[in-house]
């Protein structure tokens, strides 16, 4: 029997490429190609780097009290000045990015996971589950978030875990509705009907066909929701119902500056900068992802290439 040999050059030529990895690189390249997407990636990357490497990036101890520097303005040593206790505002904002990013990613991630599972169950499962879950989510959305947050904080206590719980609870209905509606549309598509006719199990249909087809929409939703989560965390911390002093949070720094806005306006201005950067960065990232994942835009990009 003759042996069939293949040269290394032919093996490299015939080597298959993972289509999902190729699509991911295409989307990332298209996001970076636009000015808005490039700005968004730079802002988001900077925030994540600050959150991960805060102990190495902070120029001073964010909790060190220096009475002699109370309410001092920006200087060469303290770039964003000092607060009412003489603490370095820049260091506190850098450490505050850890709380902001933790709450944002865990809050949206938890809401995405729970909302997607409930949406798949409602859209693909028995109609009884659909009715019960729709009733639950509609009831949840009718409750004012601030009142619910204050009630939970009063009963459980204010902490980062409590903030994440509040955010997940109120963001689940949004993901649930999107996944449910898309599931109800996609499950009637011909390729899914054919897969079920060929004996594919429900789990196989869900995770091999439904989830990949709605992943792009959910990714854009997450990017758009993160600024809202950061605003919720900062707002609750500003009101004293979120992260508690002396922990460094953008909301607590903003609260400290508001109390002394006439004597030291630099604190409020400095505290607003990272909130604005996070809002613009993640919002622009969502816009750029939406353009990159739009089939019409993707086809135009491939024709241009």
pLDDT of residue 3: 40
Residue 241 neighbours by CB under 8 Å, 6+ apart: 149, 150, 153, 158
Long-range contacts formed by 23-29: CB under 8 A, 24+ apart: 26/292, 26/298, 26/301, 27/289, 27/292, 27/293
CA-to-CA dists, residue 206 to 3, 84, 170, 192, angstroms: 43, 55, 25, 9
Spatial separation of the C-alpha atoms in residues 293 and 291, rounded to whole Å: 6
Alpha-carbon torsion angle 205, 209, 213, 215, nearest 10: 70
Question: Domain extents for the chain?
Answer: 64-298
Residue 119 neighbours by CB under 8 Å, 6+ apart: 175, 176, 177, 178, 179, 180, 182, 183
Greatest distance between any 2 Cα atoms in the chain: 91
Report the chain (305 residues): mean pLDDT per 10 consecutive residues: 43 46 76 91 96 95 93 94 95 96 96 94 86 89 83 84 91 94 87 82 81 89 94 89 87 92 93 95 93 62 48
The 10 Å Cβ neighbour count of residue 217 is 15
Q: Which stretches within 54-126 are classed as H helix?
A: 54-57, 89-124
SS3 164: helix
pLDDT of residue 207: 82
* From the candidate CATH numbers 2.40.50.100, 2.60.120.620, 1.20.1250.20, 1.10.3720.10, the one assigned to the domain spanning 64-298: 1.10.3720.10
Spatial separation of the C-alpha atoms in residues 153 and 236, rounded to whole Å: 10
């Amino acid at each position: 029997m003759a042996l069939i040999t293949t040269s290394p050059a032919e093996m490299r030529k015939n080597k298959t490429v993972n289509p999902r990895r190729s699509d991911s690189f295409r989307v990332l390249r298209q996001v970076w190609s636009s000015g808005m997407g490039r700005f968004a990636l730079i802002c988001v990357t900077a925030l994540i780097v600050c959150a991960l490497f805060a102990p190495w990036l902070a120029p001073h101890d964010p909790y060190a009290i220096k009475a002699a520097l109370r309410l001092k303005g920006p200087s060469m040593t303290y770039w964003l000045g000092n607060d009412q206790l003489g603490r370095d505002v820049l260091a506190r904002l850098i450490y505050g990015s850890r709380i902001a990013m933790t709450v944002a990613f865990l809050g949206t991630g938890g809401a995405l996971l729970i909302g997607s599972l409930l949406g798949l169950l409602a859209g693909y499962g028995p109609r009884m589950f659909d009715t019960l879950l729709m009733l639950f989510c509609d009831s949840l959305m009718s409750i004012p978030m601030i009142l619910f947050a204050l009630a939970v904080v009063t009963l459980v206590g204010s902490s980062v875990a409590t903030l994440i719980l509040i955010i997940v609870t109120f963001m689940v209905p949004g993901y649930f509705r999107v996944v449910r509606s898309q599931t109800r549309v996609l499950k009637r598509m011909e390729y899914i009907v054919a897969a079920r006719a060929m004996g594919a199990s429900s789990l196989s249909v869900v995770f091999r066909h439904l989830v990949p087809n709605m992943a792009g929409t959910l990714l854009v939703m997450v990017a758009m929701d993160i600024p809202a989560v950061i605003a919720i965390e900062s707002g609750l911390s500003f009101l004293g119902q979120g992260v508690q002093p002396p922990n460094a949070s953008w909301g607590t720094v903003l609260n400290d500056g508001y109390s002394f806005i006439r004597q030291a306006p630099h604190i409020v201005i400095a505290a607003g900068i990272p909130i604005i950067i996070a809002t613009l960065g993640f919002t622009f990232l969502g816009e750029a992802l939406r353009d990159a994942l739009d089939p019409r835009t993707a086809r135009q990009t491939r024709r241009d290439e």
